[in-house]
Structure 1
């Protein structure tokens, strides 16, 4: 069997300094009222952040396996503005706001076309194999700085 373009998972990408990650709202994402359950916005944002890291060349799995460390959400603030509904096509727009020695602050917007549905500010701490905060690899910090300066 030959591979087709449909055998490859969707990947987002950058438009300037903003990473765009598209997804569709499925039945499993909604509550009994037919709107996206509030906690699922955090899942959507997590997928987008993970894809953003992959897009800048950060392999979290390899970093964990090599004993370098991993990112963990230390703080999340989400403001819900409008509900998303079953069948909606959404785009999560992510941008690096601030880079510190052991953390990165990311702003994320959940959009339905031009309509702003949710606004998130996430602090991801970098943890060593001992689960304690540690400095991020210098090349990762440099990549984030380049993104936040665009």
Structure 2
């Protein structure tokens, strides 16, 4: 069962592209990172505050990415992030970058929740919000 879903909309700028005019592959990593931060905000958690106050937060453990089609300067993209698997100290997030109905990039991101650099259980309210299906 999939959990909470968030969509981040963004526009492609010159700085996001490479010499060919296509979006540079590593730019998608930045877009997906922003989307992962925004899904936390959507469930009322602030990544920066968690780190400042408790020295805890998420780190990427692994990513599997399929680049399917290129995006171009001035394109408007949507980065959809869905909690696919929620455990006590980790998440699996499905991230899909689209331009309209076209899927450009699909990724599976596994993140671990750490406190002072060591795995720890995420706050129970966070886990429950990530599992919500509305």
SS of the residue 1:97 aligns to: strand
Aligned residue in 1 for 2:57: 70
Does residue 54 in structure 1 map to residue 41 in structure 2? yes
SS of the residue corresponding to residue 91 of structure 2 reads strand
* CA–CA separation in structure 1 for the residues paired with 2:4 and 2:91: 15
Which of 106, 114, 118 matches 1:132?
A: 118
Q: Distance in 2 between matches of 1:54 and 1:120?
A: 21
Larger Rg: 1
Moved over 4 A (4+): none
Which residue of structure 2 aligns with residue 144 of structure 1?
A: 130
Stretches of structure 2 lacking an aligned partner (at least 5 in a row): none
Q: Which has the higher contact order (CA 8 A, sep 6+)?
A: 2
Matched residues in 2 for 1:18 and 1:85: separation? 26
Structure 1: runs of 5 or more not aligned: 1-15
2:102 to 95, 99, 115: 115
Report 1:90-101 matches (<5 A).
90-101=77-88
